[in-house]
Chains A and B, each alone.
Chain A
Amino acid sequence: MATIVSFVLLGIGILALVLRRDLVIKLLALGLINASSILFLVSIGNRPGGRAPIQFPGETAVLVDPLPQALVLSAIVVNFAILALALVFVMILVERYHTTDAQRIEQEMSRETDEEETPCL
C-alpha cells in the first residue's frame, strides 16, 4: 500500500515539475519527488507486526528493519541541502529577471545573447 502510494506521489511530483511553470512550485514538486523515495524506502523496511527498532538486552520481539530508516535519515538531510541551495539560486535569478516563471526566464536569456558575457578567469 505505502509502496504504491510512493509511486503515485512520484508521478504527481513529476507532473507538477513538468507542468507548473513557477520555479518555486517546481522546487516544491522536487521536494515531493524526494519525499516519495523516502516513503518508498521506509515502506520496504516495514513488516506486519514489527515493532519500532528500539531493542533492549533480552528482548526478542519482531522488529521492523532498521537499515532503510537509517539510510533515509541521510537522504532527508541531503534533500534539504539541495532544496536550500536551489532556493537561493532561484532568488538570485529573480533578482535579475523579476519573475519566477521558468519559460519567461529562458526567453529573457535567449534575448540577451548579444549582451557581452565576460569569462570569469
Chain B
Amino acid sequence: MAGHVLLALLPIVAVVALTQSRRLSAIIGMGLFSFLLAAVYLVMRAPDVAITEATIGAALVTAIYILAIRRTGRLTVVADEVPGLLAREADRIVGLEYDILRGFAISQGLDLSVSFVPLRRVRWLVAHGEADIGAGGIVPLTGAIDPLDATPGHLETGVYAFDARDGRPTSELAPDYDGYFSELQSKARNGLLSSSVTSLDLARVLSLSRGAPLEGLDRLDGRHGYAFLVSKDRADLKRDLVRYVESLQRSGELDAWIARHVR
C-alpha cells in the first residue's frame, strides 16, 4: 500500500519540480524526487539500489548542482588576460589586480569570480550589467570608455601611439586593440604588431615577452593609470571600490603588491 502511494507521488513530484521557473527550486524538487525513488526501491526490496540512489542520485547530484548554480553574493569580474596584472598561471589566477579585487571581495563578503574575455567583450559585458567590474589592463583615456565609468586608477603607466600605415609615431589616438591579449603577444613575437594595432599602452607592451620593438614610438602627454571599469549605474560599487583602493594606498600595501607583481 505504502508502495503504491509512493509510486503515485513520483510523477506528481517530477511534474512540480520540472515546471518550476526558479532553478534552485527545480533542483531541490528533483532531489526530493530522488529520495522518494530511493524509498520506492526500498519498498520494492532493492536495498542496494535504494542506498546507491540515495547517496548518488539524491545527495551527490544535488550537491554539485547547487555548487554549480550558486550565485548569491558574488562579485563578477570580466578581464582580458594581462601578465602581471591579472592572468592565469598554472591553474591559479595571479596578479596585482587580482590581489586588489580579491581583497575587495573579501572585505565586502562576496565570492570573487573572474572570467577572461577579449577586451571589447569586457566593455560590453560591464555596460550591459552582465558583469560587475571590468579589469585587465584598462586605461581610461578620454572618450575611450564612453558609456562606462572608471575608478581613478591604481597603477601609473604611459601610453604610446603609432600609426599603422607608415609605422611612424603619431599623436592621434585610435581605438584600443580589441582582441585577446594572447593574440597580441604572438603578433609582437612575429613582428606583426604595427600592422594590427594602432595604439598601445605601455605596460601591455612591456609585458609582451620583452622583445617587442618600441623605439620611435611617441609617448602621449599626460598622466595615465590602470583602472577598473564599472557601469555608470553602479555608483555605490565604484565608491566602495575607490575607498578600498585608497585604504590600500594609505597603508602602503598597494606599493608592496606593485613591487611584487609588476616591477
A and B touch in the complex (CB under 8 A): yes
In the bound complex, CA of A13 to CA of B19 (Å): 11
In the bound complex, CA of A20 to CA of B33 (Å): 18
- Contact: A32 with B44, CB < 8 Å? no
Chain B interfacial residues counted at CB < 8 A: 37
- Output the nearest chain B residue to A6 by Cβ-Cβ distance: B10
- Contact: A35 with B125, CB < 8 Å? no
- Output the nearest chain A residue to B27 by Cβ-Cβ distance: A28
From the candidates A12, A69, A87, name the one contacting B46 in the complex (CB within 8 A): A69
Residues from 1 to 59 in A contacting B, C-beta threshold 8 Å = 1-2, 5, 8-9, 12-13, 16, 20, 22, 24-25, 28-29, 31-32, 35, 38-39, 42-43, 45-46, 50-54
- Contact: A25 with B46, CB < 8 Å? no
Per-position 1/0 for A70-92, Cβ under 8 A of B: 10110011001001100100110
- Contact: B41 with A16, CB < 8 Å? no
Q: Does A95 lie at the interface of the complex (its beta carbon under 8 Å from any beta carbon of B)?
A: yes
Residues from chain B with Cβ under 8 Å of A64 in the complex: 44-46
- Contact: B52 with A1, CB < 8 Å? no
- Contact: B18 with A25, CB < 8 Å? yes
- Output the nearest chain B residue to A17 by Cβ-Cβ distance: B18
Q: Does A104 lie at the interface of the complex (its beta carbon under 8 Å from any beta carbon of B)?
A: no
From the candidates B17, B44, B69, name the one contacting A46 in the complex (CB within 8 A): B44
From the candidates A2, A53, A90, name the one contacting B7 in the complex (CB within 8 A): A2
Shortest CB-to-CB span from A86 to chain B, Å, is 11
Per-position 1/0 for B25-37, Cβ under 8 A of A: 0110010011001
Residues from chain A with Cβ under 8 Å of B64 in the complex: 84, 87
- Contact: B65 with A80, CB < 8 Å? no
- Contact: B48 with A1, CB < 8 Å? no
From the candidates B8, B30, B44, name the one contacting A28 in the complex (CB within 8 A): B30
In the bound complex, CA of A24 to CA of B65 (Å): 9
Q: Which DSSP category, helix, strand, loop or mixed, fits chain A's interface?
A: helix
In the bound complex, CA of A43 to CA of B42 (Å): 12
From the candidates A2, A29, A46, A90, name the one contacting B18 in the complex (CB within 8 A): A29
- Contact: A51 with B11, CB < 8 Å? no
Residues from chain B with Cβ under 8 Å of A42 in the complex: 41, 44, 46, 49
In the bound complex, CA of A43 to CA of B4 (Å): 13
- Output the nearest chain A residue to B128 by Cβ-Cβ distance: A98
- Output the nearest chain A residue to B45 by Cβ-Cβ distance: A52
Tell me whether A5 and B11 are in contact in the complex, defined as CB-CB below 8 angstroms, given that A24-B23, A24-B26, A91-B68 are known contacts: yes
- Contact: A76 with B56, CB < 8 Å? yes
In the bound complex, CA of A54 to CA of B15 (Å): 35
- Output the nearest chain A residue to B68 by Cβ-Cβ distance: A87
- Which A residues have a C-beta under 8 Å from some C-beta of B? 1-2, 5, 8-9, 12-13, 16, 20, 22, 24-25, 28-29, 31-32, 35, 38-39, 42-43, 45-46, 50-54, 64, 69-70, 72-73, 76-77, 80, 83-84, 87, 90-91, 95, 98, 100
A-B complex: 5 closest residue pairs judged by Cβ atoms: A16-B18, A52-B45, A98-B130, A69-B46, A46-B44
**17 new A-B pairs (CB below 8 Å) besides A28-B17, A32-B33, A80-B56?**
A2-B40, A9-B10, A25-B26, A28-B65, A29-B18, A31-B30, A31-B61, A35-B33, A39-B37, A39-B40, A52-B46, A69-B48, A73-B48, A76-B57, A80-B60, A91-B68, A98-B125
18 contacts between A and B (CB under 8 A): A5-B11, A8-B11, A9-B10, A9-B11, A24-B26, A31-B61, A42-B41, A46-B44, A50-B45, A52-B46, A64-B44, A64-B46, A72-B49, A76-B49, A76-B53, A76-B56, A80-B56, A90-B68
